[in-house]
Amino acid sequence: MKNNTMTSAVAGITLAAMAGGAAYMMSQNRSRRMRAQTRKMRKTAGKAFKNAEQILGSVTDMLQ
């Protein structure tokens, strides 16, 4: 009986921890952080694309 109670308690604690982790992942603060990071990545990718375009243009000009 004691082992069954212990197993139930551990299962309950594990379930509560999983639910808390899921709630944290879905919280508004996390979403804002993710959106800000996505915007920053897009901006960085845009800059990298523009630089690559300029380099490719320069190489094309040199080859002509």
> Per-residue DSSP letters for the chain?
-HHHHHHHHHHHHHHHHHHHHHHHHTSHHHHHHHHHHHHHHHHHHHHHHHHHHHHHHHHHHHH-
Q: How many domains does the chain have?
A: 1
CB of 24 within 8 A of CB of 30? yes
Range of the domain at 40: 2-63
Q: What is the pTM of this model?
A: 0.46
> What would the pLDDT profile of 20-50 be if each residue is shown by its tens digit?
777 776 665 666 777 888 888 888 888 888 8
